[in-house]
Copies of this chain bind each other. A is one copy, B any other.
Amino acid sequence: MNPVIDLLKSHRSIRKFTDQPVSKELLKELIRAGQGAATSSHVQAYSVIHVKNSENRQKVAELAGGQAYVSTCGAFLVFCADMKRPTDAAEHTGAQVVRGMTEQLLVATVDTALMAQNVAIAAESIGLGICYIGGIRNNPQQISDLFSLPDHVYPVFGMCLGYPADQPDVKPRLPVEAILKEDTYQDDRDQVAAFDETMHAYYQTRSSGHKDSTWSKNLTPLFSTKLRSHMRNFLVKRGFELK
């Protein structure tokens, strides 16, 4: 439709990078582009840790479940939902502030994601590849300790950035008719069934191996266990009390 929309539709996670580093100046430009995203009531409830220290990169790679590219990519960022800065700012005006609301967790999480997605698009627009690392929530307390994150700040996800050494296929997505519903929530089991076939064919034809699976089957291990059941207590302990 236009080059921007083509770019948005061509995203794939990159997990192999060349040795070329990503400069601090470029990172700042990407973050500035990130900051252009909408922010709820202008709170800008996010901070980003640029992990330069190579030992820490290695530790994060391990904590995130052995994702070596966290340590080898051109730059690694930890995106944090930050309710400390805006609530502290309000408090410094002399106000009595309320913290720990579930609504504040949502605001900060959404703000962080909108901003990060702008960073991802900006990076891809100049030929970088990126990969979100949700695995940092495997060990959010250790991640928080590693970067001295204060209360009211939590690590939402990481992001690997770098010059791609690989160009994997763009993974199929659910039919748009499953996602976009008119006026009322409609059942989408038929579209899911069609998508299971799409994914089955995709897995069969991939050059990297012939997996006999579907979208639904692939999701099963994800929802058969209490994945990251520590998140609730972790958030509460860090001042996101879910009030």
Contact = CB atoms under 8 A, between A and B. Distances in A.
B50 A36 contact: no
12 contacts: A42-B219, A43-B222, A53-B183, A85-B178, A86-B219, A92-B216, A93-B217, A103-B229, A103-B231, A117-B118, A148-B185, A232-B242
Interface stretch (A15-23, A62-70, A169-177, A204-212): A169-177
Interface string A66-100: 00000000000000100001111111110111110
Given A113-B110, A117-B37, A118-B117, A101 B48 contact: no
Contacts of A227: 98, 101, 103-104
Interface string A95-131: 1111101111011011001101110111001100011
Contact of A8 (B33, B185, B223, B225): B33
Contacts of A87: 219, 223
- Copy total for this chain: 2
Residue among A36, A92, A150 with max Cβ neighbours from chain B (10 Å) = A36
Contacts of A1: 29, 33, 126
A8 to B, nearest CB: 4
A153 interface: yes
B181 A224 contact: no
Contacts of A93: 216-217, 220
Nearest to A131: B38
Classify chain A's interface size: 35 or more
Given A113-B109, A225-B98, A150 B185 contact: yes
Given A98-B225, A110-B109, A228-B103, A215 B89 contact: yes
Contacts of A222: 41, 43, 86, 90
Contacts of A114: 113, 116-117
Contact of A184 (B33, B85, B148, B156): B148
Nearest to A52: B183
Contacts of A90: 216, 219-220, 222-224
Given A37-B8, A43-B219, A103-B228, A176 B28 contact: yes
A27 interface: yes
